[in-house]
Chains A and B, each alone.
Chain A
Amino acid sequence: MSSAGRLPTGGRIDRARPIKFSFDGRSMSGFAGDTLASALIANGVSLVGRSFKYHRPRGILSAGSEEPNALVEMRAGARREPNTRATSVELFDGLQAQSQNRWPSLGFDILALNGLVGGFLSAGFYYKTFMWPAAFWEKVYEPLIRRAAGLGRSAGAEDPDHYEKSHAHCDVLVIGGGPAGLMAALTAARSGARVILADEDFLPGGRLNAERQEIDGAAGSIWAATVAAELSSMPNVRLMRRTTVFGVYDGSTYAALERVNDHVAVPPPFQPRQRMWRIYARRSILAAGALERPLVFANNDRPGVMLAGAVRSYINRFAVTPGQRLAVFTCCDDGWQAAIDAAAAGISIEAVIDSRAEASPALGGELGKRDVRIFRGAEVIRAVGSRGLQAIEVRDASGRISSILCDALAMSGGWSPITHLTSHLGGRPVWNESLPAFVPGTLPSGMSVVGAANGAMALARSLAGGRDAGASAARDFGRSASDAPLPKADDEPATVRALWHVSGGRGPAFVDFQNDVTAKDVGLASREGYRSVELLKRYTTLGMATDQGKTSNVNGLAILASELAQPIATVGTTLNRPPFTPVSIGALAGHHRGKDFRATRLSPLHEWAKTHGAVFIESGAWLRASWFPRPGEKDWLESASREVRAVRSAVGLTDVSTLGKIDIQGPDAGTLLDRVYCNTFSTLAVGKARYGVMLREDGFVMDDGTTSRLATDHFVMTTTTANAVGIMRHLEFCHQGLWPGLDVQMTSISEQWAQMAIAGPKSRETLARIVDRQHDISDAAFPYLTAREITILGGTRARLFRISYSGELAYELAVPAGVGNAVAAAIMEAGTDLGIQPYGLEAMGIMRIEKGHVAGSEINGQTTARDLGLGKMMSKKKDYIGRVLAERPALAAPDRWGLVGLKPVDWTTRIRAGAHLIPIGAATTTANDLGYVTSVAFSPSLERWIGLGLISGGASKHGTRVRLVDLLRGSDIEAEVCDPVFYDPKGERLHG
């Protein structure tokens, strides 16, 4: 254990608020304002995790969301969150964290043996081996690989927390709360524009909180706090802390994740854990800052080797010391600042190694006086130590190698602008050799980029860029931005000379820390032909870890460029994909889970059905009454059979409200219907209903239902439940898209009307008791297929249709939805002495199969009207949708699968839908497949199992026998092919 710890003073932490937490079961303490990473450092922890492939010991590399190494499992039980970056976790009381991807312990991990045989496990080795013998892959090799891979463990139980989604609109979205972002937001906000400032940190200010730079003569962090306070007080500003804008989508839509309660142990009651925002922004200003690059040298992954900027963050913001004896390795001016700040904090500086021979002698300032060893034109070639840094090997300008003892090394390879969000819509960053770094290329519409994200690495330039972008956005909205003077700040540009790879040290030099991709792997991939940056990424997994290459991509492709002897600009870069940082699946789902996954639609007769004890089933969005059990009935079949017998012998009532209902009016309503149905409706008499079949334009059946004519220019259409929405859309398309000249209007009235079927020989007698006296519903006055508006129960509006799905004398009655339950109850009461019973979907299904009516199982999008025995309905006298293509050769072929009835030869044998039809004596092969069973029922009326099916040749097969073969469930049943109408084939019962 190192002797690192907390500095006695300083930092943006609240020493008055100590916080207790635990890591790997050890109790520790920190302060409010700490991250888990800073608190671990304060407690002397330097070994935090293990890497993905070689299980190498890892510490803390960064102080932000780019962290590849310090990943932990946060919380426990159902709230366990694997792979959580300790550098982004805000410390809270009771925080529990544990290390991951190690066994049996963090200090001693068996799989670290992988590292010893790293030579065999280089990039792509999987692809070259594990192929012998073939059967061993799934049984032996793959399970081992899977177990070794992965990182943390997921929770094993349902996530107990809730997530919200919100939408916001603004004039200007500022992404990032560092100096440039704060300045941009302030300028735009003062102009009166509606501003949202989103910052991923819990403390606005960005690098101002990590550096000792001054603005207007005071600490930069004070300026940041002042500006944040002003923004918070403005009514036109929403300052969103702990909020990461993680993606850019079309139409200036920005997705953001607000971590509402990740900084407490458990969200307070009725509060979400996280909230996902969709922000619609007219302008956006990207001020996301920059990421410091690690340097690539042997064993650069040892705990204690840290980014120089992170060292400054830990010292200046968190007042913790990453080590007692610090060395600095840099290729840019910026790195020196880590030594200066550390020295100011009382940390011993062992050496500063600058790879640039020309590095300015002025760098380091007072350091020289402190007897610090300074190397120019030198490189750290190797880190020494395993679970913690013990020393570094330095090769000086003359090539001499010396060893320097230290327990922390700050490294800086220069800074890369965070251009991720500029790429989400396809923009490619462009290489800027002078930085050297990729800077934003083509930007999403409405976006501008400022500050370090745009390559402006000096503070004064960041502030100026922020102000200019804020003012420019304000002007875009016709607002004037005040010309307040810019705050004064340092304008020294730091110079960098790229150093992509230090060779010569013994040991792996890591490019991608988490995925254990080394400089050697990059070279190997290039030698093997994986030379596109994308192939490099895919072959080596460079940049595919949870940090998505934030610290590795640029180094990797620079090394590739050097291997290929090409400029970096030519090699290019991979495209950053959203999200910027990983987003919890729960947040992207929001409330749509469990019973609330999708809306549940209830029929206007739901209460009535409930009163009668209905069993409901999910049917698309609906809950529908399936059957109405009575005491003593053993299963659904017994109940449904009893309901069928009631309808066939007396009267029953069922709910058909879920059918789509479309009101169509206008002088051309009949013409439109003629064009969308294959049969004719313009000739339908007022007061009549007709069954209609619609085809798709490709000639297959789309939907069926009855449509009634209530007046010359007024029709009411019904559609199937499943297609209610689609048919409405289709009709609107036909009208607006194809025939806008037609004078017709339509609207969905599905939800306005409760509709019930009253079916059975006693249905008229029942209905007569509730229909108002002036409406004659006798057979003579109201024959089959009559449709009229009437009144019932003393003046209640209703529409009565004499149509039958059950095959009995039957009616459908539509009443305003609000009175549905009352009317159903009244009918039940009126029919009590006649034996009325409620019946459900199952009974309806049985009766329609008995009658050979087609439903969704037959109208499956693969059948034509002729297939279904409805060919005669296809008018020859008019044009209609689907007419021409329905005549294509394959749609009119005689061997098409047509609708038939199926009766098992042994009437007691249960048959099942989905069985295929195979000739007797033939092999069960595709070649002998004649068709399949679409629907089955036990018919209480016939007292036997019956089915509908589609068979090659259709009606021509009546009287033949086939086998119903169900290989999945192991049945093979002989059946007779027959007419699909099993019950009352002459249709006498619905008359009379």
Chain B
Amino acid sequence: MRIRCPYCGERSNDEFYVLGDADALTARPSGENAEAFHEYVYQRTNLAGLHRELWYHSNGCRRWLVVTRDTRTHEISDVTYASKRGEGEAA
């Protein structure tokens, strides 16, 4: 698999660490609702199709990336920085 890192260019997936569903994992609830945290930590849509997922360029620029990949074919259609999502967002 080849991932086009926006910072480093196209690299083999050997250089990356994969964590999972980007939309699920970055949607950390605030507050103390245990059910919301249960959903956040454990429940996954687990799509057969276009999947936005987190990859970390551990042997590269150390950026977390959101890779849009088809889980049926492994074809990658988009790669962006994970942090872009929250750029400008208040801490």
Interface residues in chain A, defined as those with a beta carbon under 8 Å from any beta carbon in chain B: 249-253, 278, 280, 425-426, 445, 668, 671, 697-698, 725, 729, 732-733, 735-743, 879, 883-885, 887-888
Who on chain B is nearest to A668 by CB? B91
Q: List 17 extra interface pairs beyond A252-B2, A884-B33, CB under 8 A.
A: A250-B2, A250-B74, A251-B1, A251-B12, A253-B12, A425-B74, A668-B91, A733-B54, A733-B64, A736-B63, A740-B85, A741-B88, A741-B91, A883-B32, A884-B32, A885-B41, A888-B34
The 7 A-B residue pairs with the shortest CB-CB distance in the complex, in nearest-first order? A251-B2, A740-B86, A740-B83, A736-B83, A250-B1, A741-B91, A736-B64
- Within the complex, what minimum Cβ distance (angstroms) separates B21 from chain A? 12
The reply to whether A426 and B17 contact each other, CB–CB distance below 8 Å, is no
Of chain B, the residue at the smallest CB distance from A885 is: B37
Contact with A along B1-42 (1 / 0, CB 8 A): 111000000001100010100100110101011100110110
Q: A252: nearest residue on chain B (CB-CB)?
A: B2
From A732, A741, A742, A885, B34 is in contact (CB under 8 Å) with A885
* A to B CB contacts below 8 Å, 16 in the list: A250-B74, A251-B2, A252-B2, A668-B91, A697-B28, A697-B40, A732-B56, A732-B62, A733-B19, A733-B54, A733-B64, A739-B91, A740-B82, A740-B87, A885-B34, A885-B38
Q: Which residue of A lies closest to B62 (CB)?
A: A732
Q: Say whether A280 contacts B2, CB under 8 Å.
A: yes
Tell me the count of chain B residues lying within 8 A, CB to CB, of chain A: 40
Smallest beta-carbon distance B91→chain A, Å: 4
Are A884 and B54 closer than 8 Å at their CB atoms? Answer: no
Main SS class of interface, B: mixed
CB nearest to B56 among chain A residues: A729
How far is it, in angstroms, between the C-alpha of A542 and the C-alpha of B73 when the chains are bound? Answer: 28
Q: Give chain B nearest CB distance to A578 CB in angstroms.
A: 15
Q: Report chain B residues within 8 Å CB of A280.
A: 2
B12: chain A residues at CB < 8 Å are 251, 253, 278
Residue contact B37 to A884, C-beta cutoff 8 Å: yes
Q: Taking beta carbons and an 8 Å cutoff, which residues of B are in contact with A?
A: 1-3, 12-13, 17, 19, 22, 25-26, 28, 30, 32-34, 37-38, 40-41, 54, 56, 58, 62-64, 73-76, 81-91
Q: Which of A737, A884, A887 contacts B64 (CB 8 A)?
A: A737
Across-interface contacts of B19 in A (CB, < 8 A)? 733
In the complex formed, the residue of A with least CB distance to B76 is A251
Residue of B nearest to A744 (CB): B91
Q: Given A732-B62, A885-B37, A671–B91 Cβ distance below 8 Å?
A: yes
Across the interface, do B58 and A729 meet the contact criterion of CB distance under 8 Å?
yes
A884–B1 Cα distance when bound, in Å, is 37
Contact: A725 with B34, CB < 8 Å? no
Q: In the complex, what's the smallest C-beta–C-beta distance from B82 to chain A, in angstroms?
A: 5
| Residue of A725, A729, A736, A883 most packed against chain B (CB within 10 A) | A736
Check A698 against B41 for contact (C-beta < 8 Å). Answer: yes
Interface centre among B13, B82, B84 (most CB of A within 10 A): B82
Chain A residues near B81 (CB-CB < 8 A) = 736
Q: How far is the CA of A425 from the CA of B70 in the complex (A)?
A: 13
Contacts of A250 in B (CB 8 A): 1-2, 74-75
With the chains together, A426 CA to B74 CA distance in Å? 11
Q: B3 — which chain A residues lie within 8 A by C-beta?
A: 251
C-alpha gap A425/B58 in the complex (Å):
27
**Residues of A contacting B84 in the complex (Cβ-Cβ under 8 angstroms):** 740
List the A side residues contacting B90 at CB < 8 Å: 741
- Complex Cα gap A879–B37 (Å): 13
A671–B91 Cα distance when bound, in Å, is 9
With a CB–CB cut-off of 8 A, which chain A residues contact B33?
Answer: 884
Chain A hits for B89, CB < 8 A? 740-741
Chain B: minimal CB distance from A425 (Å): 7
Does B1 lie within 8 Å of A249, measured CB to CB?
yes
Q: Is the CB of B91 within 8 A of A426?
A: no
> What are the residues of chain B within 8 A of A252 when measuring CB–CB?
2
On whether A445 and B63 interact (CB within 8 A), knowing A251-B2, A697-B37, the answer reads no
What residues on B are CB-neighbors of A426 within 8 Å?
73
Taken together as a complex, chains A and B put the C-alpha atoms of A171 and B32 apart, in Å, by 55
Specify the chain B residue showing the minimal Cβ separation from A697.
B41
A425–B19 Cα distance when bound, in Å, is 24
Residue in chain B with minimal CB distance to A672: B91
How far does the alpha carbon of A364 sit from the alpha carbon of B30 in the complex, in Å? 84
Residue on A with the closest CB to B36? A884
Which residues does chain B contribute within 8 Å of A739, judged by CB atoms?
A: 86, 91
Which A-chain residue is minimally distant from B37 (CB atoms)?
A884
Bound together, the chains give a CA A298 to CA B85 distance in angstroms of 69
CA–CA, A740 to B28, complex, Å? 13
Contact with A884, one of B34, B63, B83, B88 (Cβ below 8 angstroms): B34
Of all chain A residues, the one with the shortest Cβ separation from B85 is A740
Question: Of A671, A733, A741, A879, which one neighbours B86 at CB under 8 angstroms?
Answer: A741
A610 CB to closest chain B CB (Å) equals 29
Q: Is the CB of B64 within 8 A of A732?
A: yes
Interface pair A737/B37, CB less than 8 Å apart:
no
In the assembled complex, the Cα of A883 lies from the Cα of B84 at a distance in Å of: 27
Q: Is there contact, CB below 8 Å, between B91 and A742? A: yes
Taking CB as reference atom, which chain A residue is nearest B69? A250
Q: Chain B's nearest CB lies how many Å from the CB of A256? A: 16
Q: How far is the CB of B53 from chain A (nearest CB, A)?
A: 12
User: A249-B1, A885-B38 given as contacts; is B82 within 8 A of A737 (CB)?
Assistant: yes
Q: Contacts A253-B2, A253-B12 given: A738-B32 contact, CB under 8 Å?
A: no
Min CB distance B72 to A, Å, is: 9
Given A253-B2, A253-B12: A737 touches B54 (CB 8 Å cut-off):
yes
Among A253, A737, A885, A888, residue most surrounded by chain B Cβ atoms (within 10 Å): A737
User: Which residue on chain B has the smallest CB distance to residue A884?
Assistant: B37
Closest to B35 in A: A884
What A residues does B38 contact at CB under 8 A? 885
CB distance from B90 to the nearest CB of A (A): 5
Residue of A with least CB distance to B66: A737
Report the separation of the CA atoms of residues A729 and B17 in the bound assembly, to the nearest whole angstrom.
9
* Distance in Å: Cβ of A473 to nearest Cβ of chain B: 19
CA A494 – CA B58 in complex, angstroms?
56
